[in-house]
């Protein structure tokens, strides 16, 4: 089995780069950058949450108004049904009166 210098060189370079990367990532400047990024993310989160709350409130208003509109339509439809039923009753009563009058007219000549 032979020693692979190329692979061991890559490994050593990776270790060196990793060690340097860790030192860079843990430096004061890096920590300051992380803190600034985190603060910006928190500000963005607050802005998004305000927008979400506004949208949610508007959606609740829209839902309440839509329900009100549907209730008004149902009430109008029910009133129309009642009016139609009242008309039907009146028409039936008129038809009954006309039949009764015709029966009286028909009965009078038969009696005479």
Q: State the average pLDDT over residues 73-81.
A: 90
Q: How far apart are CA 71 and CA 78, in angstroms?
A: 10
Instruction: State the pTM of this model.
Output: 0.42
| Region of 80 on the Ramachandran plot (φ > 0 left; ψ -120 to 50 alpha; else beta) | alpha
pLDDT digits (tens, 9 = 90+) for 38-58: 999 999 999 999 999 999 999
């Amino acid at each position: 089995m032979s020693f692979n210098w190329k692979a061991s060189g890559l490994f050593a370079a990776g270790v060196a780069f990793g060690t340097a990367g860790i030192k860079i990532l843990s430096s004061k400047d890096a920590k300051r950058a992380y803190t600034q990024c985190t603060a910006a993310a928190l500000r963005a989160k607050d802005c998004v949450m305000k927008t979400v709350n506004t949208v949610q409130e508007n959606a609740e208003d829209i839902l309440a108004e839509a329900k009100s509109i549907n209730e008004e339509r149902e009430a109008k439809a029910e009133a129309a049904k009642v009016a139609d039923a009242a008309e039907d009753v009146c028409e039936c009563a008129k038809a009954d009166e006309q039949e009764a009058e015709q029966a009286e007219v028909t009965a009078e000549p038969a009696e005479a």
